[in-house]
Structure 1
Amino acid sequence: MTAPRDRGADAPGTDPERLWLGPTEPRRGRKPSFSRETITSAAVALADAEGLEAVTMRRVAAAVGAGVMSLYSYAPDKETLLELMVDQVSGELPAEPPTGDWRADLKAVARAQRAHMLRHPWLPAVLFAHRTPGPRTLAFLEHVLTVLRPTGLDGAAKLEVFSQLTAFVASHVGYELTRTAARSPERVAAESRYLAAIAADGRHPELAEALTAPPRPLTPEATFTRFLNRLVDGLDSD
């Protein structure tokens, strides 16, 4: 029998009924010494330490001390494994009781998501692929919908707000991670000299005015907060 191949984000979607509503342990054969959660935890640890490229069925099998073929009863391909990974780490997201101030509560949700994605740097890219929410993800979604109840938005609009917020956080964290990795002191100095030259060339008056405006705090936290405030404070209506 040919073993299933590792598949990436372009693979056909995983059957959500089989994945989330079916049994989590094989029905036949001897009871294995590991579980689906053990396999998923090993995959998450690999992704956290070495990046998503390190997550192969062979590497995960080695981490749990199993043969590769024995993993396919739990996760037949990498796409399914990614679904399990996303849902497992979603269980780390806090769900504090809403205060009734939905804007403040929604901003707290976004800050928790940012911290969560910074702990798992592989997560932003994975979230942009289609994912079917598992039980832990659904619990967090339920929390966010409860936070949004005071807005008076209908259910579809609340789901859109959740998607919009998550996409913003994932995009921002992805930018943060890439920017941090690429910006050496020399690169920062070169960018500053380049922009100063552009501002002085007389051909970009609007940009020159923007560049000479009073500076704002540029720490990752301060920048994220400004962007988040603009997003959430503008959610006044459908």
Structure 2
Amino acid sequence: MPAAEPFIWMRPERAGRGPRPAHSRDEIAAAAVRIADTDGLDAVSMRRVAAEIGASTMALYNYVNGKEDLLDLMIDAVSAEYQLPSGPLGDWRGVLLALARQGRTIALRHPWLPRALTQRPAVALMGPNALRYTEFILTAVNRVLDASTAMELIGLLTAVVHSYVQSELAQSEAERQAGLSADEFQASMAAYLGRMIASGWYPRFTQVVIEGASTPPPNADAIFERAVNRLLDGFSTRPDAGPRSAKPS
């Protein structure tokens, strides 16, 4: 018996024969996203999604093979939230920085997304909305980077954005578990670091803390943009990368 087609987008909307499908993949994906947004990724199950759309669990198997398909549909559904410009693109770095900002906003809106991507890193990013995003970036950098380098940039940009969001979410979760506000948590952290510095065991770290004490800490937005710009620096042949030699596609 041949293996099932791994890409859900290569399969019919509904398996088997019978009446016209009562549900759509968009409806199923939207239901799964609502569940994950409210109760977390672990709450997404075939039974829960089926109940959300008013179907039986067995009926849902006519549309998806299991949770892996649900994850693929969810990731692609939120990929549609990118607002991609339709006019002239201008500076490629500015375009990618704007996309990175959008990616951070989307991931914070859907906190389950970074984790879902680690579970479905290859298949999910081949969905139609994800490919629309990829095609847009490839077009934006076409005259600056070759295709292979551009794909590497897309992968690294995605990793930086979602790693940063995971750190933000982990910080918020640590504060929540400690039962402290953000300011209270920072005060507790400062007290702990003060004790570590006073121990004399970490002279280099102490120097960093002392040097940084004279300047206000950058906010999360500034740190994020600096991280993205440092990544983009690595793909620039000069501060403002110019057109590369045209090559046939």
Per the shorter chain, which TM-score range?
Answer: 0.7 to 0.9
Distance 1:14 1:122 in 2: 26
In the TM superposition, residue 233 of structure 1 has moved relative to its aligned partner by 2.4
Distance 2:185 2:217 in 1: 19
In the TM superposition, residue 145 of structure 1 has moved relative to its aligned partner by 1.1
Identity score, percent: 41
Change in CA separation of 1:156 and 1:71 when aligned onto 2, cut-off 3 Å: same
* Match of residue 108, structure 2, among 97, 100, 118: 118
TM-score by length of 2: 0.83
161-170 vs 97-106, greater mean Cα deviation: 97-106
Say which SS state the counterpart of residue 83 (structure 2) adopts. coil
Say which SS state the counterpart of residue 108 (structure 1) adopts. helix
Change in CA separation of 1:158 and 1:126 when aligned onto 2, cut-off 3 Å: same
Q: Across the two proteins, how many residue pairs are aligned to each other?
A: 223
Distance 1:215 1:50 in 2: 39
Contact kept? 2:141, 2:150, Cα under 8 Å: yes
Change in CA separation of 1:198 and 1:77 when aligned onto 2, cut-off 3 Å: same
In the TM superposition, residue 106 of structure 1 has moved relative to its aligned partner by 1.0
Structure 2: segments with no counterpart, 5+ residues: 238-249
Distance 1:79 1:208 in 2: 47
Distance 1:216 1:104 in 2: 26
Contact kept? 1:217, 1:223, Cα under 8 Å: no
Corresponding position: 1:148 with 2:141: yes
Structure 1: segments with no counterpart, 5+ residues: 1-11
Runs of 4+ in 1 over 4 A off after TM superposition: none
1:145-171 CA-to-partner distances (Å, cap 9, x unmatched) read 1122232x2211110100000011111
Contact kept? 2:80, 2:129, Cα under 8 Å: yes
Partner of residue 243, structure 2? none
Contact kept? 2:35, 2:43, Cα under 8 Å: yes
In the TM superposition, residue 33 of structure 1 has moved relative to its aligned partner by 2.3
TM-score by length of 1: 0.86
Distance 1:144 1:165 in 2: 11
Partner of residue 235, structure 1? 235
1:122-156 CA-to-partner distances (Å, cap 9, x unmatched) read 001111232321111100100111122232x2211
Say which SS state the counterpart of residue 18 (structure 2) adopts. coil
In the TM superposition, residue 27 of structure 1 has moved relative to its aligned partner by 4.9
Distance 2:56 2:63 in 1: 13
Change in CA separation of 1:30 and 1:127 when aligned onto 2, cut-off 3 Å: same
In the TM superposition, residue 89 of structure 1 has moved relative to its aligned partner by 1.2
Paired amino acid for 1:164:
L
Distance 2:4 2:94 in 1: 35
Contact kept? 1:127, 1:170, Cα under 8 Å: no
Distance 1:14 1:179 in 2: 39
Distance 1:22 1:32 in 2: 14
Paired amino acid for 1:215:
T
Corresponding position: 1:178 with 2:170: yes
* Match of residue 69, structure 2, among 60, 77, 80: 80
Paired amino acid for 2:188:
A
Partner of residue 61, structure 1? 50
Contact kept? 1:83, 1:131, Cα under 8 Å: no
